[in-house]
């Protein structure tokens, strides 16, 4: 199942996690935690969004920190 991540309405670029490209694209392949964002340098307040592009995904756990 494909998904797209944005930070402040833009692709995450250098802040992408290991399961997301710099353009913000990723794929759910199994039931596990996915690293969507990893903000480099000083951490600041950001608006995070994840959009599932295919039906059938259920998200139930988010961790921050």
Which H helix or E strand runs over 27? Answer: strand 25-27
Residue 47's domain comprises 1-65
Task: Evaluate whether 46 touches 7 at the Cβ level (below 8 Å).
Answer: yes
pTM here?
0.85
pLDDT 10s digits, 8-45: 999 999 999 999 999 999 999 998 889 999 988 888 89
Split into its structural domains, the chain has a count of 1
């Amino acid at each position: 199942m494909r998904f797209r991540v944005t930070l402040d309405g833009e692709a995450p670029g250098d802040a992408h996690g290991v399961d997301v490209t710099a353009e913000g694209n990723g794929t759910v392949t199994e039931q596990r935690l996915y690293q969507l964002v990893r903000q480099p340098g000083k951490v600041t307040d950001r608006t995070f969004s994840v959009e599932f592009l295919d039906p059938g995904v259920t998200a139930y756990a988010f961790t921050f920190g």
